Amino acid sequence: MMIKILPYLLLIFAIGVGVLLMTSFKAKTKNIILNTNNIAPKKSFYELEAISIDGKKISFDQYKNKKILIVNVASKCGYTYQYEGLQKLQDIYQDKVIVLGFPANDFFNQEPGSNEEIEEFCEINYGITFQMFEKTTTKGKKQSPVYQWLTNKDFNGWNAQQPTWNFCKYLVNEKGELVGFFNSKIKPLSEEITSLL
């Protein structure tokens, strides 16, 4: 009797595991997460600093009273074409937002180059003029201070969503508050982003 029931039990178990995995996957890949309650950060965004792609220390207090779009970028990704949209966003909305690019090799070795190679790639292929930073780590034990702030509720006040792939976007408002997370599928010039500028 038990032998006859066993395949059905295994099937039910497999379906249950599948549903759990799909639910977990959907939760982790939500396209947009917004700070709808206007929760203020617990640690100031303007205390952060990072090293530019050409080796200069940049303090984020120079970004006060400006909206900032922070993006983890990569040169060999299916979303690399979004460099063009990021540059257009910077050009069109330069009075409203500043784009900051953080090259990272966190997803399947899609940013293997050196800082010099990345900078050259961006200039030659996309004419990038927005601020680029040195190659960084956006998740895990070696996560940079900028991405620690973006993905830790103890710092930003509400968000724990880490980048799910290259070209995830985080929008910070003029007061240094994290406004929202936009995954890679949300293009730089999408209404979801431009309506918040």
pTM for the whole thing?
Answer: 0.86
User: DSSP label at 95?
Assistant: T
Q: What pLDDT, on the 0 to 100 scale, is given for residue 30?
A: 84
Average pLDDT over the chain reads 90
Q: What pLDDT, on the 0 to 100 scale, is given for residue 101?
A: 98
Structural contact between residues 170 and 180, judged by C-beta atoms closer than 8 angstroms: yes
- Rounded Cα distance, 135 and 103, in Å: 5
Backbone angle region of 106, left / alpha / beta, with phi > 0 → left and psi within -120 to 50 → alpha: alpha
Write down the domain spans for the chain: 1-30, 31-194
Other CB atoms within a 10 A radius of the CB of residue 191 amount to 9
Between 28 and 106, name the one with better pLDDT.
106
5: pLDDT confidence band, cut at 50, 70 and 90? low
Q: What is the pLDDT of residues 176-193, one digit of tens each?
A: 999 999 999 999 999 999
Q: What pLDDT, on the 0 to 100 scale, is given for residue 11?
A: 42
Class in CATH terms, 31-194: alpha beta
Is pLDDT at 80 greater than 80 in this prediction?
Answer: yes
Catalytic residues: 77
Is pLDDT at 66 greater than 50 in this prediction?
Answer: yes
